[in-house]
Chain A
Amino acid sequence: MAEIVDSFYQGVPSFDESQPPALSPEERSRLLSAFYPDYRPEGKATLKVGANKGMVVPQELANILESRSRIPAPRSLPDHPDHDVDILVIGGGGAGITAALFAAKEGRSVLLATKLRVGDSNTVMAEGGIQAALGEGDSPVEHFRDTFRGGHGENDPALLSVLVAEGPEMVEWLVSRGILFDRDMQGGLSLRKGGGTSRPRLISAKDYTGLELVRVLKEDLMNAPVEILEFSPAVELISGRDGSCVGAVLYDLDSRKNVYVKAKTVILSTGGAGRLHLGGFATSNHFGATADGLTMAYRMGLPLVHPESFQFHPTGVIFPSEMAGMLITEAVRGAGARMYNRHGRRFVNELETRDVVASAIIRECAEGRGVETPSGARGVFLDLVAIDRDSGEGTVAKRFPNIVKLMNRHHVDPTKRPILVYPTLHYQNGGIKSDARARTSVAGLLVAGEVSGGLHGTNRLMGNSLLELFVFGRRAALEAVALSRDRPAFSWKESTLSHIDRFESELLKFRPDQAFPMAPVLFPDYRRKDA
């Protein structure tokens, strides 16, 4: 394979380092509307059923929202649940682990169910960092303003205010658990710059931030009084008599049997949607990111906020092709990496917000200024060589050891060769509507993490999603503790799956042939179709 890589790199143009063109606010708007996938008309569908009826969303998302259950009709529940707990946490990524840890500390009985292993999530893959306004001249107020501006003013101010105000306390918690963030000369947490922020505000653990967080918190979870069911994704929520949520149906991937959980409170923290490959984009997401939480909640009648909004991270690897979708953190651009088209020209300020940078890359490739790979894909060059030149030899290796390691495995030494990149489907900006106490429109159902919506508006700033996991994971836990304590006892006999029946009968009005895809899909299927 080394020969293919070498021959590709013989065609690299010489780079012209002159400043890229500056964008006026109008040009920025025009660039977004012409090239950002959220605003393009192709590949979209109008929802016909459910709380977001009438909204236009990506076709792949419509497919899993307007879908039929994995549990065939007629649907009934067994006489007794398999588990009966105070709090059921669905999802074992950063938000779920945090919620389970804080709930267990309050002495409630907690069951955490997850699709793969605990920690298999987008959290573990996060490279860049966590936003925490710790710098001199910075403050939670500046953090609020930057995030609101980055989110195009579509953020829910009540959620955002909580995020920025409680963020530093959650960082204190992480430090106290022994998480090793990078330090500055004074022993303070090192602050780095991310796109769209007015101050350096990112704390990180080299480019292993998510891995470091998950390794540590997973060990704490394994040592906490929490019952854990791995390889057991949730496939439906269960309704109570009053329309509340009273548990969930899990699917044991090994025994292929359903497992029924009765819970006084359910915390949904199932993460994002990258593995739906919206618009055919490659993704940086983990194998289980199929938006199962959205499917289950939508069936129960919960409204989604900004379901049309996704983050296409500008710099996913596109060559060598076996690495497609892998992320190169935005922190490299914060550190001085530059981007060039096939003519060796810079075409956008590398520190614009993610949506603007992604749109500019898509524009370059659509208008014939992209670099073609041997398999016919297109991308632009992301050059990290400038970082070492500006900040001293060895800077890239020291700050981004993971990128250096991963790229070198595939014969691209990023301290010598530019990386070919193209936007990769990275994050679900919207999600289930919730309030500052993590509550949804359904009693007994709370949400935390990427599955929730409203905090990020229609464009998330780097480092805010990790912060969200901890701030709202904890908030969901505290709310769940109170709810499960105060909720009057109820009988399993009142539990039903009738909300699914109602939803499917609505669907059938539009497709009497019943030709709906089944969801949650749980995993993408990459097996050869003609095998």
Chain B
Amino acid sequence: METQENKTGPMVRVSINGREYHVPQGSTMVQAMWYTGHEVIHGIGCLGGVCGACATVYRMEGDFRLRNALACQTLVAEGMSFSMLDSYPIQRAHYDVAALTDPKEELFTFYPESATCRNCNACTEVCPQGIDVRDAVWRANFGDFKAVADLTMSCVMCGLCVSRCIAEMAPHEIALYARRAYGAKELPFPPNLRHRLDEIHGGAFSGELKRLEGLSPEELKKECEVKS
């Protein structure tokens, strides 16, 4: 719950940006920051796990492993230390999807580093969405953009994969390129959309829409069967 309540339940000990606090059990990382008085502006967006603003790095006490998560989606736990990674620097390709002529080859023009994957799998292990990122990068390299689309549809562009990549590429940007090229260049144009556009351009509906627009409010309500 984002609204502030006086929580009286059990508390857990956490460390936020290196400082120790006690916060209510059951809070998300973002809620823990609010509870401790942080004004969170960088690193917050939808609070619903889809905008990718709240990438966070954390460790649990007694465990050497470095973990990552989305702060709005992850509950705090006893002994957790975390810091937000508000924005991870990336290099983005400058291209117009409509102007691509050989998208599979052009991948290596825009993202030559994509061919340097060393198969360490760190990107896949870090992904908070559970995407097989390493596989997606290889599929992109082999030109199987449909597979990239299927593998990466849930990508929230948080950039955590970039933070771990030993080849220093930006897998989420490579996947975005592959998905767009697949949608714009490989998939045939939808026939039902083509058909309807032809009808619209032929003026099939303009007369009827004009007539509806011209009715009095009462006539229009009657015509459209407005019930209440």
Could you list which residues of chain A lie within 8 angstroms of chain B, going by C-beta atoms?
1, 4, 25, 28-29, 32, 116-117, 119-120, 124-125, 132-135, 139-141, 144-145, 148-149, 152-153, 157-158, 161, 164-165, 168-169, 171-172, 175-181, 183-184, 186-189, 191, 205-206, 208, 210-212, 215-216, 219-220, 222-223, 231, 253, 277, 280, 282-284, 286-287, 320-322, 324-327, 401-402, 405-406, 409, 523-524, 526-529, 531
What does the 1/0 interface line of B185-204 toward A look like (CB < 8 Å)?
10111111101110110001
What does the 1/0 interface line of B96-120 toward A look like (CB < 8 Å)?
1110000000000000000000000
Contact indicator A180/B28 (Cβ below 8 Å)? no
Contact indicator A125/B46 (Cβ below 8 Å)? yes
Contact indicator B213/A148 (Cβ below 8 Å)? no
CA distance A145 to B226 in the complex (A): 9
Q: Does B26 contact A (CB under 8 A)?
A: yes
- CB-nearest residue of chain A to B2: A526
Contact indicator B4/A223 (Cβ below 8 Å)? no
Contact indicator B153/A205 (Cβ below 8 Å)? yes
Partner of B50 from the list A153, A231, A402, A523 (CB cut-off 8 Å) is: A402
A141 with B208: in contact, given A25-B227, A322-B26, A326-B48 (CB under 8 Å)? yes
- Within 8 Å CB of A188, what residues of B? 190-193
Contact indicator B50/A208 (Cβ below 8 Å)? yes
A-B residue pairs, 8 tightest by C-beta: A178-B180, A188-B192, A178-B184, A153-B226, A178-B183, A153-B221, A120-B45, A324-B1
A406 with B73: in contact, given A149-B224, A149-B225, A168-B200 (CB under 8 Å)? yes
Partner of B227 from the list A28, A125, A277, A326 (CB cut-off 8 Å) is: A28
- Within 8 Å CB of A117, what residues of B? 45, 53
What does the 1/0 interface line of B21-54 toward A look like (CB < 8 Å)?
0000111100100111111011011111111010
Give the distance to chain A from B212, nearest Cβ to Cβ, in Å.
Answer: 6
A528 with B34: in contact, given A125-B50, A175-B183, A322-B28 (CB under 8 Å)? yes
- Within 8 Å CB of A210, what residues of B? 50
Partner of B51 from the list A120, A153, A164, A277 (CB cut-off 8 Å) is: A120
Contact indicator B4/A527 (Cβ below 8 Å)? yes
Give the distance to chain B from A280, nearest Cβ to Cβ, in Å.
Answer: 8
Contact indicator A164/B209 (Cβ below 8 Å)? yes
A28 with B42: in contact, given A165-B205, A528-B37 (CB under 8 Å)? no
Give the distance to chain A from B180, nearest Cβ to Cβ, in Å.
Answer: 3
CA distance A397 to B26 in the complex (A): 26
- Within 8 Å CB of B47, what residues of A? 286-287
18 example contacts (A-B, Cβ-Cβ < 8 A) are as follows A4-B26, A29-B227, A117-B45, A124-B46, A140-B209, A144-B224, A149-B225, A149-B226, A165-B209, A169-B200, A177-B184, A211-B156, A216-B176, A286-B45, A286-B51, A327-B48, A526-B3, A526-B4
A189 with B226: in contact, given A215-B155, A322-B26, A526-B2 (CB under 8 Å)? no
- Within 8 Å CB of B192, what residues of A? 134-135, 184, 186, 188-189, 191
- CB-nearest residue of chain B to A188: B192
Contact indicator B53/A215 (Cβ below 8 Å)? no
Q: Does B126 contact A (CB under 8 A)?
A: no
- CB-nearest residue of chain B to A25: B227
CA distance A378 to B133 in the complex (A): 40
CA distance A149 to B224 in the complex (A): 6
Partner of A148 from the list B44, B97, B220 (CB cut-off 8 Å) is: B220
Contact indicator B228/A29 (Cβ below 8 Å)? yes
Partner of B197 from the list A29, A158, A168, A326 (CB cut-off 8 Å) is: A168
- Within 8 Å CB of A401, what residues of B? 153-154
- Within 8 Å CB of B157, what residues of A? 215
Contact indicator B224/A153 (Cβ below 8 Å)? yes
- Within 8 Å CB of B208, what residues of A? 141
Other contacts beyond A28-B227, A181-B190, A527-B37: 13, CB < 8 A: A120-B45, A134-B193, A139-B199, A145-B225, A157-B220, A164-B209, A177-B184, A178-B97, A178-B180, A208-B50, A277-B3, A287-B46, A405-B154
Q: Does B67 contact A (CB under 8 A)?
A: no
- Within 8 Å CB of B42, what residues of A? 231
Q: Does B169 contact A (CB under 8 A)?
A: no
- Number of B interface residues at 8 Å Cβ cutoff, please give it: 81
CA distance A152 to B224 in the complex (A): 10
CA distance A135 to B205 in the complex (A): 14
- CB-nearest residue of chain A to B51: A124
A187 with B226: in contact, given A117-B45, A286-B51, A526-B2 (CB under 8 Å)? no
CA distance A526 to B225 in the complex (A): 44
- CB-nearest residue of chain B to A206: B153
Contact indicator B53/A120 (Cβ below 8 Å)? yes
Most buried by A among B74, B181, B193: B193
A116 with B226: in contact, given A165-B200, A178-B179, A179-B183 (CB under 8 Å)? no
Partner of B190 from the list A183, A280, A322 (CB cut-off 8 Å) is: A183
Partner of A134 from the list B73, B75, B196 (CB cut-off 8 Å) is: B196
CA distance A436 to B52 in the complex (A): 35
Q: Does B130 contact A (CB under 8 A)?
A: yes
Contact indicator B154/A119 (Cβ below 8 Å)? no
- Within 8 Å CB of A152, what residues of B? 226, 228
- CB-nearest residue of chain A to B179: A180
CA distance A385 to B188 in the complex (A): 34
Q: Does B95 contact A (CB under 8 A)?
A: yes
Contact indicator A287/B221 (Cβ below 8 Å)? no
CA distance A219 to B153 in the complex (A): 16
Contact indicator B225/A208 (Cβ below 8 Å)? no
Contact indicator B1/A321 (Cβ below 8 Å)? yes
A405 with B129: in contact, given A165-B200, A189-B190, A287-B47 (CB under 8 Å)? yes
Give the distance to chain B from A142, nearest Cβ to Cβ, in Å.
Answer: 10
Give the distance to chain A from B142, nearest Cβ to Cβ, in Å.
Answer: 19
Contact indicator A187/B188 (Cβ below 8 Å)? yes
CA distance A496 to B191 in the complex (A): 53
Q: Does B217 contact A (CB under 8 A)?
A: yes
- CB-nearest residue of chain B to A409: B73
Contact indicator A169/B197 (Cβ below 8 Å)? yes
Contact indicator A176/B184 (Cβ below 8 Å)? yes
- Within 8 Å CB of B205, what residues of A? 139-141, 165
